[in-house]
Amino acid sequence: MRGIRMGRISSMPALAVREVTMRRMGTWQVLARQYATQKEKVVVLGCGWAGFRFIKDLDKDNYDVYVVSPRNHFLFTPMLASTTVGTIEFRSILEPVRTETSKKGFHYINAECVDIDEDSGKIRCKSAIADSAGKEGKEFDVPFHHLVVSVGCLPNTFGVPGVEENAFFLKEVGDAQKIRQRIIEVLELARMPSVTDEELKRLLHFVIVGGGPTGVEFAGELGDFIRTDMQKLFKNLPRNSAKVTLFQSTDKILAMFDKNLSEKAVRQFEKSHIVDVRTNCQVESIDKEKITLKGGEEIPYGLCVWSTGIGPRPLLRHLQQKQGYEMARGTRLVVDDHLRVKGRKNVYALGDCAAMESQPDIPATAQAAQQQGKFLAAEFNAMAGGSDIKPFRFNNLGMMAYVGGYVSLFDTPQLKMAGLTAWFAWRSVYLTKLGSIKNKFQVPFDWTKTLLFGRDVTLFTKSKAS
């Protein structure tokens, strides 16, 4: 080798000789890649609360990690309802996945898993981005030693006709953008000279189906927007012309909350004179401009948001039907106390897509998913060190919900309260839970901007719906 004395090389360790040689050959990157593959490969599907916490806590020195997700960001879902009316801007509650993967030396692939072959240790993926010709993304395989499934869930339509075609969901930031767009559209349409009184009443009727935390918080945020910004910016609309109706199929909203707090939420809505809560109402169908309840009652609407329960993603349906994976209630993979999928050796599941056989009552919440992600990362770190950890146990820290008018519900095992103090606690807790320093600065800035200048009602594009 020109420029290097052979006597010096002979005294160097074998690995150092290879390093010098490969550097001289210009292929050190190949050696580094070969060294990296000596570590066990962990593939993580999804980057929600469970998956994102898992990769944040996983020791980067122990595993070669690949994150596969069609969504390239983590979404802080507790504040998603606030973005639908502009209280908070969308990017303030997003955290790019590559921020974390690049920091830890992990790999990110913008794709969706469509199949799992545990025998060969590979997953089949499809790119989430179409090519330049508009064709669907290409398929490819990704090998694994350990697979972590944290793909989350989809909204459950319960087979009600017209839901997917005519209603809006509120699961992703894209859903919130569509809802915000439609709210502004119906307000602009309501000011058209040609609009009849009957049409005006329909346009300004906002319907929410589902009285869980998501539906209730959206009702609270929408009520705030109507009471403040709408009446200020759309002064020509008849006062108190906009109404929100929240439908719940059972006899109370916020079923997981303390009964007294649930009743306080209803009283707060009644006090607003904007939100009407209707319980024991079942939706039979949704048309383009009206919903039909069981019994035949028809309710015209300008916007309908569907927020009722969770359903499985296509991957889980495929695993159940084609590979015999056991599912709880047909929606979630059954896992043991260490989050290993039942009957599988190296496949784990956590978050909304998993149900523990020994703890079936764990709620599908961000809190539970984050605890599972933290636990599984600790388990993997322990496995790399040759030790074990105790089985997972869910620690219920409580629940919170915003119901509008600077009133929140705060329900913990130690303390239950509602009102302005609970609202301060609600904001304070969520502010501390935001992942990045950037977002911890951005969210208070958005709150202050909304308080001083109001919410933005800019309409960017024309909707086909209008």
| Per-residue pLDDT, 13 | 44
125 and 215, same structural domain? no
pLDDT, average across residues 370-398: 96
**Confidence band, pLDDT 50/70/90 cuts, at residue 14:** very low
Could you give the 3-state DSSP secondary structure of residue 268? helix
407 and 260, same structural domain? yes
Domain that holds residue 269: 163-310+398-453
| Per-residue pLDDT, 460 | 81
Which pair of tokens denotes residue 379?
A: 């388990």
* Domain contains 1: no
**Sheet with 327-328, side-by-side order of all strands:** 327-328, 332-335, 354-356
| Per-residue pLDDT, 461 | 66
263 and 185, same structural domain? yes
* Domain contains 215: yes
Convert the pLDDT of each residue in 326-381 to its tens digit: 999 889 999 999 999 999 999 999 999 999 999 999 999 999 999 999 999 999 99
User: Angle at the Cα of 443 (from 440 to 449), degrees rounded to 5?
Assistant: 140
* Domain contains 389: no
Distance between the two ends of the chain, CA-based, in angstroms?
A: 73
| Per-residue pLDDT, 239 | 79
pLDDT, average across residues 117-132: 92
Domain end (from 356, 384, 412): 384
Q: Letter for the amino acid at 453?
A: F
List the CATH number of the domain containing 212.
Answer: 3.50.50.100
19 pLDDT above the threshold of 80 = no
| Per-residue pLDDT, 38 | 79
Give me the number of domains the chain comprises.
Answer: 2
341 and 195, same structural domain? no
User: Angle at the Cα of 91 (from 89 to 97), degrees rounded to 5?
Assistant: 160
| Per-residue pLDDT, 137 | 83
Q: Which residues, 6+ apart, have CB-to-CB distance to 290 below 8 Å?
A: 202, 298, 299, 300, 301
* Domain contains 233: yes
262 and 117, same structural domain? no
245 and 279, same structural domain? yes
77 pLDDT above the threshold of 80 = yes
Which of the pair, 34 or 180, is modelled with greater confidence?
Answer: 180
236 and 218, same structural domain? yes
342 and 319, same structural domain? yes
213 and 361, same structural domain? no
299 and 444, same structural domain? yes
**Confidence band, pLDDT 50/70/90 cuts, at residue 466:** very low
CB contact burial 186-225 (16+ within 10 A = b; e otherwise): bbebbeeeeeeeebbbbbbbbbbbbbbbbbbbbbbbbbbb
Convert the pLDDT of each residue in 430-463 to its tens digit: 999 998 999 999 999 999 999 999 999 998 865 5
List the CATH number of the domain containing 146.
Answer: 3.50.50.60
Count of CB atoms within 10 A of residue 292's CB? Answer: 17
Average pLDDT, the chain: 91
